[in-house]
Each structure stands twice: as C-alpha cells, then as structure tokens.
A and B are shown apart, each in its own frame.
Chain A
Amino acid sequence: MPEWLRLALVIAGKDVRAELRSRTAILSAVVFAALVLVVFNFARDPTALAAVDLAPSVLWVTFALAAMLALNRAFTIEQENAALDGLLLAPVPREALFAGKLLANLAFVGTVEAVTLPLFVLFFNVDLGAALPGIIGVTALATIGFVTVGTIFSAMAVRTRFAELMLPVLLLPFMVPPLIGAVQVTARLLAGRPLSEMMGWLRLLALYDLVFVILCSLVFTAVVDE
C-alpha cells in the first residue's frame, strides 16, 4: 500500500473512531434529514403536484443540507486542543491529510444518505424498484463532488469566527452544479428513462469530481498552512 494511502486511512480511521465515540455529527445530521423530509411531506399539496415530480428535488435538498451538518464537524474536531497542529507537525504530506479527511467525510455523508434514502421512500411513497442501483450510483458520483469541495471549505471556515455559518455560505454555490446534475439524473431514473438520456449529466458529474478532487488536493496546503 502506498505510504500516502496508509496515512490517509489512519487519519480517516481516527475521525470515524472519534465520531463513533461521540455520535455528534451523524446523529444530528440524520435527525435533521428526517425533519426536512417531514417538513417537505406536510408542506406539499398532493393534489397539485405528484410525489414523483417533487421527489428528486426533495431528496437532493435533504442530502445537501444534512451533508452540511456532517461536514461542519470535519475540522471542528481538529480545533479541540489544537489537534490540527499535531497533524501538521507529523511527517504526513498535506495531500494525504486531505485524502484522509475526504475519506472520513465521505463515510459520514454516505452513512447519512444511507439512512435518509429509506426514510425518503417511506415519506414520499416512491417505488425505487429497478432505479435503486442507478440512484446509488448517482448519489456516489454527486456526493464525491460536493464532499470534496465541502472538505476544503470546512478547513477554511474553521479558522473564521462563525465557522458554522460560513460553511453553507461558501459551499452552497459550489453545490449547485452537482445538485442540478443529480436531480436531473434521479428524475429520469424514477421515470424509467433510458441511460442515454442521462449520459450528459453523468459526464458533468464525473468531470466535476475529477476537476475538484485534483484542484482541492492542490490548494489544501495553502488552506491549512499559516
């Protein structure tokens, strides 16, 4: 195993262990996601709009907002007792540190999404059926993109006075492209449309992931170093 990957897994493992101990981010994000779904469920008029038409947007707004809560914790945990200094002092390339934080965030947000999806099916009575593998695929593709950007902004926001307010302000504009793509693909999957109709959006999501994973790995050093 390459050394940078070993170090990234060590850092991700530490974050997961700390989260399992406190359950702060996961629990609050899951409860928040459930509340958002409840609000949307009661706020919509079923006679005016079919659930299946509204469902893709609701699903992705819920994922995005819940992810924001989980991402907030990524670097606040490093602020306790100046633990980030301990990471920066160690012989760990900054790219490995970024990869470790990214992997941990993907695990958190993925867990929140895995819990949210069945709740979404329950509240909106959507039959995922054959669309489920596609939904999982597009969720993975879009999540990699916005969690990558969210990891960088979480590192930036944590040094500001109002970190929890700053993260959504910084991140939401960058979430728009993957969210639009994900909503479009999800809508077509739920409507049973052929794959060819989604390829453009899937390419956009893949390109977004590629560009931002490379870009964020490169700028991470400038973000964390004094």
Chain B
Amino acid sequence: MPSSDGRRLLEATGLRRAYGRRQVLRDIDLTVAAGEAVAVAGPNGAGKTTLLRVLAGLARPDRGEVRLEGQPLRRDAPEIRRAVGLVSHQTLLYDDLTLHENLTFAARLYGLPTPAAAARSALDEAGLGARADESPRRLSRGLAQRAAIARALLHRPRVLLLDEPFTALDAAASERLRDELRARREQGLGIVLVTHQLGEAWAVATRIAVIVEGRWACDETLAGSLEGFLPRYQELIGA
C-alpha cells in the first residue's frame, strides 16, 4: 500500500507546451505527494516525455507552473533543482569517464561534502562497485540503467522522474528495479514513472494517469487488478 504522508512534493498546474503548431501538453495538472508513485501511461506521441521534461525543468512550459516542495521551478533559482532526480531514455553519463568519475562529477555539481566517497557508496549500493573503473560504454543495458539510477539518486532527491526505465531490461533487472523503486517510495520518495508497460506500473505505482493527445484521460488511485483495467485503458487510448 502507498505510504504517502500527504506532503506535496510536486505540483504542476495548467501546463501547456507546444512544439511549433503542435500542442503537446494541454492544461495538465499533477500533484505528487511524498511516498506516492504516479504511473503516466499513454500512446506514442501523447506527451509523456514532454511532460517529464517540463516537470524536470528541462523544458519550459508555455503556460502553467511547476512547484517543487512549494517553490516554483524557475531558471534563476537553481537550488530548487536539487529536489529532482531524472532517469531518462539515456544514461546522462560520459563515455570518456569511468563510472566513478561520472558520479564524482555529479556529486561535485550537487555540492556533496565528500564527492568521491558519495560516488563510491552509490555505486556499491547499485551493485556496481566492481565496475567503478569502467566506462559506461562497456556496460550492458541493464547495468547502464542501474548506473543511471545511481546517478539520479546520488544527491537524495525528493522526487524521482523516470522515463521508460524498464525498456530493454531483462526479467531479473526489471524485478530488481521494481524492488528498488518500491523501497524508495516507501521511504518517502515521490515518483513519476512514464511507461508503456502497465504491468511494471502496477508493481510500483500507487496511482495511474493516462495521457492522450496532451490531456489527462484519467488520473486515479490504483485499485483492482491490471487485467480489470486493461480493457478500460484500451478504450481510453482509442486502441
């Protein structure tokens, strides 16, 4: 069950974003509380990744606002970005640096007191301690994903945004990631998980939101079985 303590970590109100003439997000509202995991599902091109980039502060909304722990996410207030961690389609790691150098660099950017030790500890926690001196390009997709998650969680963000984190992971790696996300959520992390894989969403999330053509088609607490939800999901996305 969700361990949400009701403290609002992320609030997005009236988000609109267009690329050229194409309106990608239309008046999106979203609230994520501590210990809550929201799975965002929808067909290709529905605006899931754009929503995640706006929530992370990587793309500016044309209208609307994102607040993290009550503070508006603004370009001129970089400190508030500490609250967010992002696991995107790519690892955000430099291939010319080792894993340890990559995480040490990230720790320095976040001003952690002992960057090298923090990086070592994050890699050990991710089960990558033995690969610390290797380049990310030498890792399998599953290990690279673990490194990306270690980087995203290094600075102890309060909100974790994930874009299709289960893609290309094998069963064991997926299970490990599900366990990790559930454990983090129970510790109070707020999670927004963009995914096509509803089964994974069901295993991790406390809420499901379906986005279609830039609008919420549903946003509700998870109840009942995945099998029970699937026909409704197909109907919502018009499949």
Contacts and interface: CB of A to CB of B under 8 A. Distances in A.
A59 B56 CA distance: 46
Contact of A18 (B60, B81, B97, B109): B97
Given A18-B97, A85-B58, A92-B78, 6 more contacts: A10-B105, A80-B94, A90-B81, A90-B106, A91-B81, A221-B75
Interface of B: 53, 56-60, 75, 78-82, 84, 86, 88-97, 101, 105-106, 108-111, 136, 151
B119 to A, nearest CB: 13
Contacts of A94: 75
A203 interface: no
What are the nearest 6 A-B pairs in CB distance? A86-B92, A18-B96, A90-B109, A82-B90, A226-B59, A91-B78
A87 B136 CA distance: 17
B92 A226 contact: no
B71 to A, nearest CB: 12
A226 to B, nearest CB: 4
Interface string A13-36: 010011101100000000000000
Nearest to A10: B108
B106 A86 contact: yes
Nearest to B148: A81
Nearest to A18: B96
Contacts of B53: 226
A83 B92 contact: yes
A57 to B, nearest CB: 36
Contacts of B97: 14, 17-18, 21
Contacts of B81: 89-91
Nearest to A82: B90
Nearest to B96: A18
Given A90-B81, A90-B109, A90-B110, A83 B94 contact: yes
Contacts, number: 81
Interface string A198-211: 00000000000000
A22 B58 CA distance: 29
A225 interface: yes
B110 A91 contact: yes
Given A17-B101, A91-B82, A22 B96 contact: yes
B96 A81 contact: no
B105 A14 contact: yes
Interface residues of A, number: 28
A225 B60 CA distance: 8
B90 A81 contact: yes
Given A18-B97, A91-B110, A81 B91 contact: yes
A5 to B, nearest CB: 13
A88 B81 CA distance: 9
B89 to A, nearest CB: 7
Nearest to A90: B109
A7 B109 contact: yes
A77 interface: yes
A80 B109 contact: no
A89 B105 contact: no
Nearest to B109: A90
A134 interface: no
A32 to B, nearest CB: 20
A14 to B, nearest CB: 5
A108 to B, nearest CB: 14
A63 B94 CA distance: 28
A93 interface: yes
Nearest to B105: A14
Contact of B96 (A77, A86, A90): A77
A89 B94 contact: no
